[in-house]
Structure 1
Amino acid sequence: MRKIAKVWLYIRRHKYLVTLGVFLLVIGVIDDNSLIHRFQNRREIHELNKEIERYRKQYEEDSKTLKEITSNPKELEKVAREKYLMKQENEDIYIFEEDLKK
């Protein structure tokens, strides 16, 4: 009983400090909109924006390649040889492991 009385006395004397501590605990950790969740969401948004930018660059490169392929038959042959390993009848193709990794 004595410990409870000491705790209650401490809370009564420092009620504003205790209230502030509980408030910071709720805002910082417990709440759904806590600071921890906000930092995690901000990091996820940053990663998603980087991914969007990467896909945008890939789209631009692919669009450029498609335009070149449809307008120039030599470019079509070049892409077919490089990406799809196609060859002419009198050619031999050698594939290196480094090329497959790309």
Structure 2
Amino acid sequence: MRDERGAAALEVAGVAPLVILGALVALQFGVAGWTIVSTHEAARDGARAYSLGGDPRAAAEGALPGIMQVAGDGGTLSADGYTYSVTVKVPTVVKIDIGSVTRSVTMPVIK
């Protein structure tokens, strides 16, 4: 029994960084998913405002959580309706650039 003294502490010290890394990766995937959903909602709100003659950028920014910012946007009018696109940079858990998410939504033209 004396020869194994401290072995558990050594095992915990060896495994703890892997557990922390796994938790950070899982959290980053969650944040990326949250960004995808939030970007779609922002594009939908921007398209709605665009179709009603309002300010689509303000509507898109208002739909995003405080940590997310509109990195790019734009709208077009076609026969299908009012299309509005929003690009949002994915917030990071660690200081690594993950990229951005772009979503487009089309609101139909009401005749």
TM-score range, shorter chain: 0.3 to 0.5
TM-score (norm 2): 0.40
Larger gyration radius, structure 1 or structure 2: 1
TM-score (norm 1): 0.42
Higher helix share: 1
Higher strand share: 2
